[in-house]
């Protein structure tokens, strides 16, 4: 009942490090997969989305890093299917139960012969899934591997991910795979997954740009009967930890910014406002400058379609109440010290109108962000 | 039948330069005013929007720069009304026909006594409206004054504006006032204004942040009977020139980026895609790096709610066709030279599905953008 993995090389990374990962599940598993909402999708996403919609159950994953298999014309689709078939052939499974993922440069055709050779060697030597190693193989510009594990009684939830939240060389991607030994039917899995995704991977931002390749899978290994609420909590915990690691790894970042919008009338509004503040370049540069510039916070909070009451709302930077319908100039100095001394910065916007809240994670915008993104040349 | 102006000082600018402008129209004029959609509005915007909704006709404008009169609690509203009443008293006009505008720092109460003194001295010496001088007085961090004039036969359209498209010290603002001698009723003026605003000031971006104070007025001086289409063309020309000057002045900018989405099915789609590409940090940093990174262009074009056909669309950088359903690696070198040699960069996204098009202006994202926005401390 073990998950196995195999590692191969297709020469897609400049470093020459392994760039092919094959994951073999112990049997056909109920799964839920969420793919990027970008309409300019990687061929690997188009292929896997189609296969998964038809079948739903999955037996194996094949992932290449270093090349996004995106923007390369119709060949991309043929290559994705070849990757699935090659994996299935060597593992002796149905190729319709193999999903394909790619991450890396946009617009360069996959050297498919090398990729198929890499898959062949990956399938030859299978070993138990090592979360850290798996994350390393699928990483591109990541500075550290991303994985997490939670065990509560008999319940196990674990996962690995990649993503540095920004784009290098062309378009980095968030890939995340979370597994649980809980037995969940496809419908329950899907509902749980969508809900958790909204509060985790859909509530982080480094540069507000949606990748062509983002994918997030939730896989039920299916033998433990467990209370759904427990499963939900554990899956959310692992997913949030993975998502926060992506923000931490945002290249150029010196601060993690946690935006909490609370006491909103509806959660949709709380999320919209949290997202707007978290993705504001002005807020992100202010935090980099250790500037408790609440003017930029309230101005971005005001620029969603949802009305806010500027005479009622409160804004805290850390525990410092900098605005409550009017400015509190005396709090600014303390807020500035807080920004200088802490690596994770909490900004709370209390709308004081209802009971809903939302938390969004972001990172600051630095010279290094511009350097990394401007200096790379195709 | 002349427009008059008066200039005063309230000590709101660190430079000590004039910061109060009063504009007196020759009579009550039909006007249309569009204000920021931000819900965290300046008290001056809340006041003027209310007065204008009731009355519609305008006799005078009073504008202060250096202080946004925003985020200061209920006092802001009282101060805005005091500014209108003071202006009306000295000019001997109805205070309900005076609109108030402010731009500058958020969260600092106006030193209202000084502002009223500044208004008094501005009203004492009135001179003919000088567009360049008017722009200078209302400017904050602008590097150059913004004004434009068009004369076609008897038709005259002219205007002045301020705005550096970014936020410094807390929140810079776009203020723009366009005048025409054409006689237009309020309803026609409003329709014309909304339409032109969409294609001009609503189609520019420096940092995708909506100010608390943005205001754009169109004023009919009302004595020339002129063909509406001619008026529209001239007003659009002046408005677009003013809008482009704001982008040019985007602090830190080294390139103006013109994004043209053409042959879309509907104009709403063309605009959404143009806006998404124009506001993408990844596209903006790539242009700063002189990198013809079409992967970032197509990825941002794909991330609106509107589907695009990646196998049909074409992307040009200048005249270089870098993508038409598949990459054109040979065009990349020419595109790179184009980015290095030109100050205004044109990116064309041809969707090849319909007849609608939209143009959006933006600027590149540079180290100076981060420096200016991070180094300022409240």
Q: What backbone phi and psi angles, to 5 degrees, belong to B180?
A: -140, 150
Cβ B170–A336 below 8 Å, yes or no?
no
Average pLDDT over residues A4-24: 96
Angle between helix axes A281-288 and B367-375 (nearest 10 degrees) is 70
Q: What is the pLDDT of residue B167?
A: 46
The whole-number pLDDT of residue A1 equals 65
Determine which of A79, A168, A299 to mutate to test the interface with B (most B C-beta atoms within 10 Å). A299
Distance from CA of B260 to the nearest CA of A (A): 18
Q: What is the pLDDT along chain B (378 residues), one digit of tens a residue?
A: 699 999 999 999 989 999 999 999 999 999 999 999 899 999 999 999 999 999 889 999 999 999 999 999 999 999 999 999 999 999 999 999 999 999 988 899 999 999 999 999 999 999 999 999 999 999 988 889 999 999 999 999 999 999 876 543 344 578 999 999 999 999 999 999 999 999 998 888 776 667 888 899 999 998 899 999 999 999 999 999 999 998 888 878 899 999 999 999 999 999 999 999 998 888 998 999 999 999 999 999 999 999 999 999 999 999 999 999 999 999 999 999 999 999 999 999 999 999 999 999 999 988 887 887 777 554
DSSP state of A201: G
- For A264, phi then psi, to 5°, come to -90, 160
Structure tokens at A70: 């995106």
Q: Are residues B151 and B131 in the same domain?
A: yes
DSSP SS3 for B162: strand
What is d(CA B134, CA A213) in angstroms, rounded to the nearest whole number?
Answer: 51
Query: From A171, which residue of chain B is nearest by alpha-carbon distance?
Result: B296
Q: Which of A338, A347, A336 is nearest to A291 (CA)?
A: A336
Phi, psi of B83 (to 5 degrees): -65, -40
Interface test with B, best of A141, A278, A370 (most B CBs within 10 A): A370
DSSP H helical ranges for chain B: 43-55, 75-91, 112-124, 131-138, 186-199, 228-248, 267-278, 281-288, 294-301, 332-341, 367-375
Nearest CB neighbour to B289, from listed A105, A300, A375 = A375
Distance from CA of A308 to the nearest CA of B (A): 6
Residue A365 neighbours by CB under 8 Å, 6+ apart: A252, A281, A284, A285, A288, B370, B374
Distance from CA of B269 to the nearest CA of A (A): 13
Q: Is A377 a residue whose pLDDT tops 60?
A: no
Q: Round to whole Å and give the CA distance between B66 and B102.
A: 8
Q: Which of A203, A141, A195 is nearest to A373 (CA)?
A: A141
* A170 with B280: Cβ contact below 8 A: no
Q: Which of A43, A76, A374 to mutate to test the interface with B (most CBs of B within 10 A)?
A: A374
Residue contact B291–A374, C-beta within 8 A: yes
Whether A275 and A243 share a structural domain? no
Instruction: Please check whether residues A239 and A272 belong to one and the same domain.
Output: no
Output the pLDDT for position A171: 47
- Say yes or no: A131 and A243 in one domain: yes
Provide Rg for chain B, Cα atoms: 22
* Residue A237, burial from CB neighbour count under 10 angstroms (0-12, 13-18, 19+): middle
Q: Are strands B20-35 and B57-67 parallel, antiparallel or unpaired?
A: antiparallel
The three-state secondary structure class of B6 is strand
Chain A partners of B306 at a C-beta cutoff of 8 Å?
A: 39
Check whether residue B27 and residue B134 sit in a common domain.
yes
Closest CA to B25 of B222, B185, B232, B174: B222
User: Could you read off the pLDDT of A275-309 as tens digits, one per residue?
Assistant: 999 988 889 989 999 999 999 999 999 999 999 99
Length of chain A measured in residues:
378
Whole-number Å distance between alpha carbons of A69 and B298: 14
Q: Count A/B contacts: CB-CB distance under 8 Å.
A: 212
Cis peptide before A169 (omega within 30 of 0): yes
Cα–Cα dist B216/B148, whole Å: 15
**Placement of tokens 């305008």 in the chain:** B58
pLDDT at A166: 55
Chain B nearest-CA residue for A312: B73
pLDDT digits (tens, 9 = 90+) for A86-101: 999 999 999 999 999 9
CA separation for the pair A316, A348 (Å, rounded): 5
Report how far residue B224's alpha carbon sits from residue B151's, in angstroms, rounded to the nearest whole number. 13
Question: Residue B311 is encoded by which pair of tokens?
Answer: 């196998």
What percentage of chain A exceeds 70 in pLDDT?
96
Residues shown for chain B: 378
Of the residues B78, B285, B314, the best mutation for testing chain A's interface (the one with the most A CB atoms within 10 Å of its CB) is B285
List, in order, residues 6 or more apart from B289 with CB less than 8 Å away: A373, A374, A375, A376, A377
What whole-number distance in Å separates Cα of residue B201 and Cα of residue B183? 23
User: What φ, ψ does residue B263 adopt, rounded to 5°?
Assistant: 55, 45
Closest Cβ–Cβ partner in A304, A365, A376 for B289: A376
HSE, CB side, 13 Å, CA atoms: give it for residue A183. Answer: 6
Q: How far is A125 from chain B (nearest CA, A)?
A: 35
Helical axes A112-124 vs A75-91, angle rounded to 10°:
20
CB contact under 8 A, B72 and A291: no
Q: Within this chain, do residues A131 and A213 fall inside the same structural domain, yes or no? A: yes
pLDDT at A208: 62
- How far apart CA B218 and CA B193 sit, in angstroms, is 7
Domain boundary among B232, B248, B264: B248
Distance from CA of A224 to the nearest CA of B (A): 39
Flag if A70 and B376 touch (Cβ within 8 Å).
Answer: no
User: Which of A39, A207, A325 lies closest to B281 in CB terms?
Assistant: A207
Report the 10 Å Cβ neighbour count for B347.
Answer: 26
CATH code for the domain of A241: 3.60.70.12
In chain B, residues with a C-beta closer than 8 Å to the C-beta of A281 are: 207-209, 281, 369, 373
| CATH, residue B269 | 3.10.20.340
Tell me: do A260 and A243 sit in the same domain.
no
**Taking CB atoms and an 8 Å cutoff, what residues of chain B touch A378?**
291-293, 295, 332
CB B268 within 8 A of CB A178: no
> Does the pLDDT at position A122 exceed 70?
yes
Q: How far apart are CA A125 and CA A123, in angstroms?
A: 6
**Averaged pLDDT of chain B:** 92
**Do B243 and B268 sit in the same domain of this protein?**
no
- Within this chain, do residues A276 and A201 fall inside the same structural domain, yes or no? no
Cβ A295 vs Cβ A329: under 8 Å: no
Give the whole-angstrom CA distance, residue A145 versus residue A161: 8
Over range A365-374, report the average pLDDT.
80
Closest Cα in chain B to A323: B71
Q: Tokens 């003194």 label which residue?
A: B117
Q: How far apart are CA A131 and CA B38, in angstroms?
A: 45
Residues B222 and B116 in one domain: yes
**Interacting residues of B311 by C-beta distance below 8 A, sequence separation 6+:** A73, A74, B325
Same domain for B337 and B215, yes or no, is no
Tell me the average pLDDT of chain A: 92
Active site residues of A: 173
The reported pTM is 0.88
Asked whether the beta carbons of residue B105 and residue A295 sit closer than 8 angstroms, the reply is yes
Residue in the structure block whose two tokens are 């009684």: A153
Q: Which pLDDT does position B1 carry in this prediction?
A: 65
Q: Name the phi and psi angles at B107, rounded to 5.
A: 90, 5
CA distance A42 to chain B (A): 10
Q: How many domains does chain B have?
A: 2
State which of A206, A221, A248 marks the end of a domain: A248
Cα distance between residue B364 and residue B289, in whole Å? 9
pLDDT digits (tens, 9 = 90+) for A155-201: 999 999 998 765 433 445 789 999 999 999 999 999 999 999 999 98
Q: Are B98 and B47 in contact (CB under 8 A)?
A: no
State whether B233 and B263 are in the same domain: no
Q: Which domain holds residue B356?
A: 256-375
Residues of B in contact with A375 (CB under 8 A): 289
Positions of B marked catalytic: 173
For the ranges A20-24, A365-369, B61-65, the lowest mean pLDDT is seen at: A365-369
Boundary (domain end) residue, out of A248, A275, A303: A248
Whether residue A282 and residue B207 make contact (CB cut-off 8 A), yes or no, is yes
């Amino acid at each position: 009942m073990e998950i196995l993995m195999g590692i191969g090389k297709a020469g897609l990374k400049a470093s020459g490090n392994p760039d092919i990962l094959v994951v073999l599940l112990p049997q056909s598993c109920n799964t839920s997969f969420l793919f990027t909402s970008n309409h300019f999708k990687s061929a690997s996403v188009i292929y896997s989305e189609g296969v998964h919609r038809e079948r739903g159950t999955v037996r194996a994953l094949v992932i290449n890093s270093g090349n996004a298999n995106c923007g390369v014309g119709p060949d991309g689709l043929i290559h994705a299917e070849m990757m699935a078939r090659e994996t299935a052939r060597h593992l002796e499974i149905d190729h319709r139960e193999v999903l394909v993922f790619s991450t890396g440069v946009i617009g360069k055709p996959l050297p498919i012969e090398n990729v198929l050779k890499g898959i062949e060697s990956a399938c030859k030597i299978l070993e138990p899934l090592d979360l850290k190693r798996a994350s390393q193989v699928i990483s591109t510009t990541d500075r550290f591997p991303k994985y997490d594990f939670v065990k509560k009684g008999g319940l196990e939830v674990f996962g690995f991910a990649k993503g540095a939240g920004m784009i290098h060389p062309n378009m980095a991607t968030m890939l995340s795979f979370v597994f649980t030994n809980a037995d969940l039917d496809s419908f329950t899995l899907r509902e749980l997954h969508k809900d958790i995704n909204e509060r985790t991977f859909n509530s982080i931002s480094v540069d507000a740009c949606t990748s062509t390749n983002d994918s997030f899978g939730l896989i039920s290994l299916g033998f433990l009967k467990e209370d759904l609420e427990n499963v939900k909590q554990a899956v959310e915990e692992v997913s949030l930890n993975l998502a926060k690691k992506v923000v931490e790894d945002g290249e150029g970042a010196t601060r993690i910014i946690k935006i909490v919008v609370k006491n909103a009338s509806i959660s949709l509004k709380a999320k919209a406002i949290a997202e707007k503040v978290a993705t504001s370049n002005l807020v992100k540069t202010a935090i980099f400058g250790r500037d408790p510039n609440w003017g930029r916070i309230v101005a971005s909070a005001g620029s969603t379609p949802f009305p806010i009451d500027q005479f009622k709302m409160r804004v805290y930077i850390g525990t410092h109440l900098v605005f409550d319908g009017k400015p509190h100039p005396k709090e600014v100095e303390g807020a500035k010290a807080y920004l200088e001394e802490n690596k994770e910065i909490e900004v709370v916007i209390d709308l004081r109108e209802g009971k809903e809240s939302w938390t969004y994670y972001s990172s600051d915008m630095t010279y290094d962000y511009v350097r990394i993104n401007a200096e790379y040349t195709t």
